């Protein structure tokens, strides 16, 4: 909430920095932007340092290019990936299922119905897929 408030306050300021319109303005703006970024980083480095699981401190060029040196083995990153992907058998997946309690199709509980007598090689067969949710109730899936 604090960080969101800071962002909103900076957008409302009268001296909002707009993109440069000429090459001369661009050079001046880059110097000013680097100074402002250094001031913000020195004031709020604890917020920026803890918020990302970075393997090394972030440089201004990396931030501007969008290249973040993530630490691939961080527990937070793995948890968030499991949460977003709803990975079964993980704490992130369990939390995402708990946050979305409505029924979903569970392939492990669904059934494939067919008649063994009608199954022949090279002949058409009728197969019925019976979709069920996580509670083994039949669900309609369009």
* CA–CA gap between residue 113 and residue 134 (Å, rounded): 19
Going residue by residue through the chain (142 aa), what tens digit of pLDDT does each one get? 677 777 777 777 766 666 666 767 777 777 887 888 888 878 877 766 555 556 677 777 877 777 766 666 677 778 888 888 888 889 988 888 888 777 888 889 999 999 999 889 999 999 999 999 888 899 887 7
User: pLDDT value at position 138?
Assistant: 92
Whole-prediction pTM = 0.35
Question: Residue 73: its pLDDT value, please?
Answer: 63
**Displacement of CA 25 from its chain's centroid (Å):** 36
| DSSP string across 17-43 | PPPPSSHHHHHHHHHHHHHHHHHHHHH
**Measured between alpha carbons, how far is 97 from 83 in angstroms, rounded to an integer?**
9
Dist CA 107 CA 131 (whole Å): 7
Quick one: tokens of 93?
A: 């997946």
């Amino acid at each position: 909430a604090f960080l969101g408030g800071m962002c909103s306050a900076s957008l409302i300021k009268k001296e909002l920095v707009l993109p440069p319109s000429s090459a001369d303005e661009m050079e001046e703006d880059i110097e000013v932007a680097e100074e402002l970024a250094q001031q913000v980083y020195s004031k709020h480095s604890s917020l920026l340092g803890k918020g990302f699981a970075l393997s090394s401190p972030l440089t201004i060029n990396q931030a501007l290019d969008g290249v973040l040196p993530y630490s691939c083995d961080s527990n937070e990153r793995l948890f968030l990936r499991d949460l977003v992907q709803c990975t079964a058998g993980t704490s992130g997946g369990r939390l995402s299922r708990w946050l979305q309690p409505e029924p979903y199709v569970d392939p492990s509980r669904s059934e494939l119905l067919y008649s063994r007598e009608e199954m022949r090689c090279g002949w058409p067969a009728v197969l019925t897929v019976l979709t069920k949710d996580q509670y083994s109730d039949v669900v309609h899936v369009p």
